[in-house]
A and B are shown apart, each in its own frame.
Chain A
Amino acid sequence: MSKLTLKNEGDTHIIVTRHFAASPEAVYRAHTDAKLIQKWLLGPEGWTMPVCINDARPGGKFRYEWAHSKKGSFHITGEYLELQPYSRIVHVERMFLPDPTPDNHVETRFEPNGAGTLMTMRMTLPDAQTRSAMLSSGMEHGMEASYVRLEGMI
């Protein structure tokens, strides 16, 4: 029973939806307050976010840096384009690995849903090739999991 959905749409979009048992205001704040972001936007186990700079206003910039004891570190930078408290955030971001990836344009909506909030995040990559590249870099991690499983079987 997963509350999350993640799917490709067209050639260039990735859509993520998730329900939260909290008000749109609380969920919105968790997405815009650096102190809160730093506590949850950490990805897989073992990563921390030593740097979280976030200026949540139109034109404001953000920078998140992640670190892992064995896997090193990387960061993303981005700019806010639009903020409608507590319903909508539009921003662009790119990852540095260490070269910058093409801009990912992200619209995040927060809608009241029952007693909680439905979040819908729509990512738009510049072209199908870029989305494919995201797929291919992610496959390394998929492969890693395969190796671990394989090792367990041998």
Chain B
Amino acid sequence: MYGELNLDAAFSAMADPTRRAILARLASGEATVNELAEPFEISQPAISQHLKVLEDAGLIVRRVDGTKRPRRLAKPAIEAMDQWLAMLRKAFEKNYDRLDALLATEAHEKTEHPKRKRGKIR
């Protein structure tokens, strides 16, 4: 399932906020080193170093395009991003399941105590 992913290396690679931001940027598509360096206040060699860590961990891959070496996410990183979306979904689901229960209680209280009604309900 993890292909070429080195799990230990991947976890430690993703423990760094700059590297997570790079992965997040790559989630919206392939990018060159210059494009990746742009939003950060760090030098291009420093970005290249981060890219090497991500590459060694199996999280990103490079392609040859003339003199450029655009990077993109490798499958395990895509899976990690999907997993995040699943986590966010879970947080929303948790909220809305609570809201379902609350709405059910409210509707019940209205039937039981019609005088406590604050507004008309269809």
Contacts and interface: CB of A to CB of B under 8 A. Distances in A.
B96 to A, nearest CB: 5
Q: Which secondary structure dominates where chain B touches chain A?
A: helix
Contacts of A40: 95-96, 98-99, 101-102
Interface stretch (A55-63, A70-78, A99-107, A137-145): A137-145
A22 B109 CA distance: 14
Given A139-B20, A143-B11, A23 B121 contact: yes
A113 interface: no
A26 B102 CA distance: 10
Contact of A44 (B24, B91, B107, B120): B91
A29 B95 CA distance: 15
B89 A4 contact: yes
The number of chain A residues touching the other chain, given as a range, is 35 or more
B103 A22 contact: yes
B80 A142 contact: yes
Contacts of A18: 92, 96
* Of listed A43, A45, A142, residue having the most chain B CB within 10 A: A142
Contacts of B4: none
* Of listed A4, A26, A43, A140, residue having the most chain B CB within 10 A: A26
Q: Which secondary structure dominates where chain A touches chain B?
A: helix
25 contacts: A2-B93, A4-B96, A6-B85, A6-B92, A21-B100, A23-B121, A25-B121, A26-B106, A27-B99, A30-B99, A39-B102, A43-B95, A44-B91, A132-B24, A132-B25, A132-B28, A133-B24, A135-B24, A136-B21, A136-B24, A139-B24, A139-B81, A139-B84, A141-B87, A145-B83
Closest 4 CB pairs of A and B: A136-B24, A40-B98, A132-B24, A142-B84
Interface of A: 2-4, 6, 11, 16, 18, 20-23, 25-27, 29-30, 36, 39-45, 128-129, 131-133, 135-143, 145-147, 150
Interface of B: 7, 11, 14-15, 17, 20-21, 23-25, 27-28, 39, 80-81, 83-96, 98-104, 106-107, 118-122
